[in-house]
Structure 1
Amino acid sequence: MLRAFLLVLMTFVCSISSAQIRNESQFNPMSNRFEESVTDTLINRNEITVQISGKTSYKDYKVINFDLDSIYVDTTMSIQTYYEFNQQKRDQFGRMSLPNQGQTYNDLTFSFYNSNLFPDIGARTKHDRYYSKEDVVYYYVPTPTTQLMYRTGMEQGQVAEGIFTFNSSEQINSSISFKGTRSLGHYVSNLSDLGSFRVTSNYHTKNERYYLRAHIAAQDVINQENGGLTDDSIEDFESGDSNFKDRARLETNFVGGESILRGNRYYFDHFYKLWKGNDSIPSKKFSHLSIGHIFNYERKHFQYNQEGTSDIFGNAFTSDIEDEVENFSLYNELFVQFRSPYVLGDFVVSLSNYDYTYGYDRILISEETVINDRLDGNVVSVGAKWTTDLKKFNLKAEAKSILAGNLEGYFLGGGASFKLDTVTSFYADAFTHNKSPNFNFLLFQSDYKAFNWQTNFKNEQRTGLLFGIRSAKWLDAEVSVTNLDSYTYFQAEGDIVKPIQTSQSIQYLKVNVRKEFRLGKFALDNSFIYQEASDNGDIFPVPRFVTRNSLYFSDWIFKGDPLQLQTGITFNYFSKFNLQLYNPVLGEFAVQNEGEYGGFPMFDFFINAQVQRTRMYLLFEHINSDLTGYNYYSSPGVPYRDFMVRFGIIWNFFI
């Protein structure tokens, strides 16, 4: 009854809101004023009293990413910021969340464009909530700035994040960030507990010859594990019996399991301009010659602990499970960069050294085999990158190769883009990538006997071509074709998982389209993915299509103290396919061929509002869960979340 009421409420809210609208204007949340108002009442409204330099505007508050691209500190509200309001702060279209906040996502679609030459520890389900060095951002702000974020969890918990950024001078900008997540969840032994602490700083000299940026990150991702529902509990769940609406009554395969990823990273990069053209004239008009250095040290630990053992994973050496693997890596790179405003563009050559250790504190000796305790080595690689702008064209090329050491691999990539006008551009990219599988494919040890192996897998070879269009006038669309050779994956037989490397080539086609239609204050935002894999889903399973459609109303209401209202309903759906199985011992998803999942609709109703620099989000999630059948799963044996109400807020402060 409540779900049906919410569907009616959406229409009612939209109709009430449209009776309180005002003419559109460009609201600047940073200055808390309307910069280009169309009504006299808005032009004469009260403005902020804080006085800063007359030359300072919201454009001076910048966020700088790993690639040194900058954007303004965003205090606006849009359908895209609604999509990104989650624990990861990313749009999760094409991913299926496990039931509790702070758990991982099951990927419904894939992208293989990645130039990294080196394998990682594995446990990939933990890393979507782990800040890599590419995820850390830096700030450039004229005054201290704070952002607070809060979102309710599932049953006794929440996500809370605080970001404080400041400058001691125009040359030195720093930030301190902490994000904590804790959510009990609705199922037995399903707690999520995550923490991430980051400190960043960036500096440049007054003459802009020397630049430095650095960060420290300390993180942990902790999840209780239960192995999913038992066969009897799956029947109880799908029956819709009211006695089991309290999900804690459903029996799971075990309790007392826990998986943990911990990591610490120390990173800095800096460069000095040996030659800067004419210092007295803006430097963008002149060539630069720079020499630089990158340093990155990171250590990660992955643990799986379980009180007792579970038959679903086979026999064990011990009565309790205590698995732990560690990975230490040290990366140093020297580079020379030449930048020219002419045809030569931006050219970088680099020489790097990568030292790694992955392993355990034991050697496993059995009647059948001996499994060593670690993989370690030292690798030397070279690279070159080039970009240039030619009128409306942008060209780029990149090459990397390992010269010596315990690993082999290379990356070759290139692309071009053409900017037709201010709202439309076309682009194309091609790449070939040869890289070792992650370390947990090559070596893994566990107290569970079936989860022990040491393999001799070859490098994976990935070759891809993509082209697309970005246009606010027409649509955003991208077509990619990827060929996978020596593809490496985990195969599930029941709940026991083994690493497999296939000898057949797999061709993967993906078509991604997004278009928003507007009519007055109403909009329909559509995202659609079509994909095919040549192996018929036995090795590389993907749903044939994935869609997300949001019908919503958005407008500024009230004249005295304007409030932006955004309300609507979102529909998510993916076609049936062999949804991958979550395995907590490895922290990985594995291919299973025992059943198809999907084909169920998911409706979310939302009411979002913004007052000055405060954004509020109210989400009625999966409102149709009682109406369309209990066949919704995010992994075999792991149901997707039921209907629930979520609330969140983002609050920006500027001094």
Structure 2
Amino acid sequence: MRYIILVFIILSSAAVFGQQDSIPNRKELAAIPKTSKELGRKKDTVAGAEEYKPIVSDYKIVSFYRDTTFVDTTLSIKKEYQYNYLRKDDFELLPFANMGQTYNKLAYNFEPNFFYPKLGAIAKNHNYMEMEDIDYYNVPTPMTDVMFKTVFEEGQFLDILLTFNVSKKFNYAIAYKGFRSYGKYNNSQAEAGNFRTSANYLSENKRYSFRGHIAAQDLINEENGGLSDLEDQFISGDSDFSDRSRIDVNLTDAESKILGKRYFFENQYKLIKKDNDSSVVEKTSLSLGHLFNYETKYYQFTQDSQNDFFGEAFVATDLSDQARLRAFYNQFSAEFYNTTLGRLKANLNVYNYNYSFNSVLITDTETLRSQLKGDEISIGANYQKRIKGFNVKGDFAYNLTGDLTGSILNAEASYVLGDVLSLGAKLHSSSRMPNFNYLLYQSDYSNYNWDNLGAFDKIKTNSLEFNLDAKFLGSLSAKFTTLDNYTYFAVDPSVTVLETESENQFIKPFQETSSVNYIKVKYTKEFKLGNFALDNTVMYQTVSQSSDVLNVPQFTTRNSLYYSKEVFKKAMYLQTGVIFKYFSSYNMNAYNPLLGELYIQNNQSLGGFPLLDFFINAKVQQTRIYLKAEHFNSSFREKDYDYFSAPDNPYRDFIVRFGVVWNFFS
């Protein structure tokens, strides 16, 4: 990965230094004549000749689902929420002490993005970019997006993207996100690298289109298993341990790693295309398409020597568990589009998988296979139709052969009335097997070996969601979810865990036979008065279940009071304020570093502590500057340190961090 970084820097340096941040912001768009604004250009005159300079809205970002946005160089409270390791709002997540470690969940979304089970180690996958996380670009000139942020001891974070237009019809991008952070606690170092490059092409006659990407990613974490003496060394507030590196941890020689490589491309050719004139809106078309995705991925846990924290092991030293998944996915499709009838796409999906370990486990009582291998064939369809402000879309897939999946159905209807009102409803129903690490796992630790393929049933998920977004009332969403055969990790209930033992010795996968009903309601509203604003997000959750297998806080809130103003003769836009976040106490999930998974525990109720952050952000041209004092209220404590991200894993202490985000345009 280091060689990839070196090549990337050499190739991109010339483009970076040859660019400038001269693109007008959104406020300047209002002054552009209507005819020029429709073209997305700013009219200018050079040596008597008229030409059009690009503006921000010309730099388009296209998602995997073909939703289009443009580069946003504004500064807002929403940007503050997204200025983090994941580069998205983490309201429903609770980070661990070091950047790049896992997150605990404050809320859930159970609808799968992909029809088939994944490798597992889900707690380690927050920064792993899936097929649907890669964006494609359509830009008039080369553009660079850079994010930098300080970390927790000895390291930095940098995410850099360069995108180019080789021609009007061909665009490509190259990007790398990398970081290293030593962390405040022993054996908690984290580092990662996410390399991706994407390209998209549209032929001159607009019949043939192509898009594809390559991604190579690695996520590496030292694993300390949490603190071993919480009461005396952390909760008590003993000043001898204010230097967190002095606190004892459970593991000092363990490491986990996720490594993945993916090759993705999609082709589409229009057999029938009316209105070839590019200035005329297409009315009817018929096209054939092919989507190909090949991905290899593995999760590895290594340890220098056996530790009773996980129980007995087959070997005493050089422990190494590695689960590997190699998957081919092909989709063959035919799409019909008509301005009156809408867009209908039918597809045939072929999925080939090989989930494996490097050995076969043989004991006195059983023989554990080393792989799950097979083919899945399914058919599906997608439909979308827009009538003025009303939009309907849906998709379904049904498995014809194979054991991993059953069916999936998504339906959505929405209505938009300008920027005043938006109403929407979503329906989801799916049936599929749990992730592969629930079905089969092998480890050098004797307790972490199981084969549940014949014992576990498909997880059935049904959800209904309503959304309301009104300009003066705020945004409200309500989701109702029912889960059958819900699958989870937990301590084996048949075992009595002694005080001298770690419950991590007895973690197993289980499936709940009774239905689990989950309700999540979220409300967001911002109030403004002059230069002051108060942004509020409140979430309520409740679960109806026979056993405590899904634990969530009942109330979660985030309230941001901030001040915004243009200063220095409008050369800088300044935004400063305080963010308050709180969630009610609940039986927070615990973290298992061997599996890279969170597991259910019902012995400790944690949470109920406020998180206060103070920030000062500024914007100068296309550069946004961020300065934040995180969790500053923790410095007011002298004892009774009770803030945790998971049992035995404290939340972050007070720290000041700095960073920038800036764009360059040619």
TM-score between the two structures when normalised by the length of structure 1: 0.91
- The equivalences for 1:252-331 within 5 A come to 252-280=249-277, 282-320=279-317, 321-331=319-329
Q: Which residue of 1 aligns with 2:354?
A: 357
> Please, which of 184, 187, 191 is the counterpart of residue 186 of structure 1?
184
Change (3 A) 1:55 1:236: closer
Q: Which residue of 1 aligns with 2:508?
A: 498
Change (3 A) 1:48 1:115: closer
Q: Which residue of 2 aligns with 1:443?
A: 440
Q: Which residue of 1 aligns with 2:367?
A: 370
Q: Which residue of 2 aligns with 1:13?
A: none
1:631 lines up with 2:642 in the alignment: yes
* Structure 2 segments unaligned to the other structure (5+ residues): 1-20, 32-41, 493-502
The answer to which of 150-159 and 363-372 deviates more is 363-372
> Please, which of 609, 612, 618 is the counterpart of residue 603 of structure 1?
612
SS at match of 1:624: helix
C-alpha distance in structure 1 between counterparts of 2:632 and 2:547, whole Å: 31
1:167 lines up with 2:165 in the alignment: yes
Cα deviation digits, residues 380-429 of structure 1 (max 9, x gap): 11101111123332112221111112433101221211223433110011
Task: Tell me how far 1:254 sits from its aligned partner.
Answer: 1.5
Asked if 2 retains the 8 angstrom alpha-carbon contact of 1:32 and 1:48, the reply is: no
Asked if 1 retains the 8 angstrom alpha-carbon contact of 2:44 and 2:53, the reply is: no
1:509 lines up with 2:519 in the alignment: yes
- The equivalences for 1:101-500 within 5 A come to 101-114=99-112, 116-230=114-228, 232-280=229-277, 282-320=279-317, 321-342=319-340, 344-455=341-452, 456-492=455-491, 494-495=503-504, 496-500=506-510
1:648 lines up with 2:647 in the alignment: no
* Structure 1 segments unaligned to the other structure (5+ residues): 1-27, 39-46
The answer to which of 459-468 and 409-418 deviates more is 409-418
Q: What is the aligned length?
A: 617
1:555 lines up with 2:565 in the alignment: yes
> Please, which of 598, 601, 608 is the counterpart of residue 592 of structure 1?
601
Change (3 A) 1:308 1:468: same
C-alpha distance in structure 2 between counterparts of 1:410 and 1:37, whole Å: 48
Task: Tell me how far 1:645 sits from its aligned partner.
Answer: 0.4
1:545 lines up with 2:542 in the alignment: no
Residue 626 of structure 1 aligns to which amino acid in structure 2? S
The answer to which of 613-622 and 53-62 deviates more is 53-62
C-alpha distance in structure 2 between counterparts of 1:203 and 1:350, whole Å: 22
SS at match of 1:236: helix
The answer to which of 640-649 and 623-632 deviates more is 623-632
Change (3 A) 1:411 1:37: closer
C-alpha distance in structure 1 between counterparts of 2:407 and 2:113, whole Å: 8
Asked if 1 retains the 8 angstrom alpha-carbon contact of 2:394 and 2:410, the reply is: yes
Change (3 A) 1:185 1:537: farther
C-alpha distance in structure 2 between counterparts of 1:602 and 1:536, whole Å: 33
Task: Tell me how far 1:29 sits from its aligned partner.
Answer: 7.4
% identical aligned pairs: 42
C-alpha distance in structure 2 between counterparts of 1:327 and 1:580, whole Å: 26
Cα deviation digits, residues 615-651 of structure 1 (max 9, x gap): 1100100000132541000010000010000001111
Task: Tell me how far 1:195 sits from its aligned partner.
Answer: 0.4
C-alpha distance in structure 2 between counterparts of 1:334 and 1:171, whole Å: 24
Asked if 2 retains the 8 angstrom alpha-carbon contact of 1:424 and 1:473, the reply is: no
The answer to which of 303-312 and 89-98 deviates more is 303-312
Residue 498 of structure 1 aligns to which amino acid in structure 2? K
SS at match of 1:101: coil
C-alpha distance in structure 2 between counterparts of 1:59 and 1:506, whole Å: 45
Residue 601 of structure 2 aligns to which amino acid in structure 1? Q
Cα deviation digits, residues 203-234 of structure 1 (max 9, x gap): 1111111110010000000000011001x244
Change (3 A) 1:436 1:563: same
Q: Which residue of 2 aligns with 1:5?
A: none
C-alpha distance in structure 1 between counterparts of 2:27 and 2:403, whole Å: 60
C-alpha distance in structure 1 between counterparts of 2:22 and 2:665, whole Å: 10
Q: Which residue of 1 aligns with 2:37?
A: none
The answer to which of 304-313 and 130-139 deviates more is 304-313
TM-score between the two structures when normalised by the length of structure 2: 0.90
Asked if 1 retains the 8 angstrom alpha-carbon contact of 2:152 and 2:183, the reply is: yes
